[in-house]
């Protein structure tokens, strides 16, 4: 019998959980092939941003929890690297899989690469072309270090090829976030959640806001808040407030103003299923999240992205997404266009079909002999690519 492929998968923050769940489910179907260890770095440690997603998505508890906690980008990355290095020395996996673009992704990629352990990046090739975004640095470096690059779209493939990536490393598999969305769409709560919040399907907007570029400077955050306040006079808004955003709103004396606005419902962060329910039935969504751009595109819900650029251009070219930055007038004007029925309708995207986890597993199985070969043999193949 062939040796099992020993894999360590790394997650650290909320978006990672939705990306690892379909992959783990596909591997559980073949226990004779895969020996999978889930490592949670602890980058997100708030209950509503963390454990609740494991519960809802049916992900088994992590085999290892590194518990790195918060800190600056450098501190957080360094903590993960130190802890992950000790784990790799002990476990000696054939393959490390990282997902997304958070600090944990970069840290695990650096350590695995230095140990000459094969590295796979799920969601490779995404580019905003804005190096001011920490996530962009994480994406570029992780992709440069990876042996297997699982991409979401042909645009991502093109990005990698333009950077000189060997085509043999690139595997177009589709958007794994959509696997999770499709699987859990029917399980999302029904009218009872909307009734509890006092809104009707299509009769409200949904807000998510957390990026430092939007919440760390008072003038920027004040402008966004003012525009949302104006929109809320035409359409009720539901705003699950990220812990970081709440902290900044309070520090800038903006929280009271929002709480006083009766048509702006500020609530605690939601679990995946509750948020999916609200997103599915919203008239429009305001967000600075990459994942929300993708999910609203699939659901055909208009999305106004509060950013100047996006690493997911297909959501604009083929989906329902529109970039509005932090310009209060533009945010308000485009929101009114949607409220009055003139929003983008979007279309279907290639390989966003709920089968991405299975495609990734098949690609890994095809490389079983290489992955389980002695390191000298694997290095010779890597150097020849």
List residues with catalytic annotation.
210
Contact 255/225 with Cβ under 8 angstroms? Answer: no
Between CA 385 and CA 181 the distance in angstroms is 36
Helix (H, G, I), strand (E, B), or coil: what is residue 248?
A: helix
Chain-centroid distance of CA 220 in Å reads: 24
Beta bridge partners of residue 172, listed in sequence order? 151
What token pair was written down for 218? Answer: 């008072």
DSSP secondary structure letter of residue 187:
G
Q: What ranges in 29-102 are assigned the alpha helix state H?
A: 51-57, 73-91
Q: How many CB atoms lie within 10 A of CB 262?
A: 8
Q: Which of 323, 331, 330, 293 is nearest to 307 (CA)?
A: 323
Dihedral, 285, 351, 138, 284 alpha carbons, nearest 10 = 0
Q: What's the distance, Cα to Cα, between the start and end of the chain in Å?
A: 28
């Amino acid at each position: 019998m062939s040796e099992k492929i020993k894999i360590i998968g790394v997650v650290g923050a909320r978006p990672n959980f939705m990306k690892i769940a379909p992959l783990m489910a596909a591997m559980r179907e073949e226990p004779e092939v895969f020996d999978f260890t889930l490592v949670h770095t602890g980058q997100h440690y708030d209950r509503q941003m963390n454990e609740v997603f494991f519960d809802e998505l049916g992900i088994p508890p992590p085999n290892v929890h590194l518990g790195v906690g918060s800190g600056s980008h450098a501190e957080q990355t360094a903590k993960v690297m130190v802890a992950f290095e000790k784990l790799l020395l002990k476990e000696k996996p054939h393959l490390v899989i990282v997902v997304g673009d958070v600090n944990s992704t970069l840290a695990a990629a650096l350590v695995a690469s230095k140990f000459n352990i094969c590295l796979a990046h799920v969601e490779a090739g995404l580019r905003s072309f804005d190096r001011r975004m920490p996530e962009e640095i994480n994406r570029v470096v992780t992709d440069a270090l990876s042996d297997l690059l699982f991409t979401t779209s042909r645009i991502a493939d093109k990005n990698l090829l333009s950077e000189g990536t060997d085509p043999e490393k690139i595997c177009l598999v589709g958007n794994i976030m959509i696997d999770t969305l499709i699987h859990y769409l029917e399980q999302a709560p029904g009218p009872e959640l909307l009734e509890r919040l006092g809104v009707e399907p299509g009769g409200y907007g949904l807000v998510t806001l957390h990026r430092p570029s939007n919440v760390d400077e008072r003038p920027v955050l004040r402008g966004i808040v003012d525009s949302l306040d104006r929109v809320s006079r035409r359409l009720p808004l539901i705003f699950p407030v990220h812990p970081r955003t709440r902290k900044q709103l309070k520090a800038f004396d903006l929280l009271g103003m929002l709480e006083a606005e009766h048509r702006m419902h500020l609530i605690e962060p939601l679990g995946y299923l509750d948020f999916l329910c609200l997103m599915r039935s919203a008239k429009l969504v305001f967000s600075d999240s990459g994942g929300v751009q993708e999910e609203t595109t699939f659901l055909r819900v208009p999305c106004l992205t509060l950013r100047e650029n996006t690493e997911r251009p297909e959501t604009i070219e083929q989906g329902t997404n529109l970039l509005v930055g932090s310009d209060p007038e533009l945010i308000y004007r485009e929101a009114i266009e949607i409220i009055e029925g003139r929003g983008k309708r979007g279309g279907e995207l290639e390989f966003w079909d709920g089968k991405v986890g299975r495609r990734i597993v098949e690609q890994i199985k095809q490389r079983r002999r290489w992955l389980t070969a002695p390191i000298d043999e694997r290095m010779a193949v890597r150097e020849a690519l």
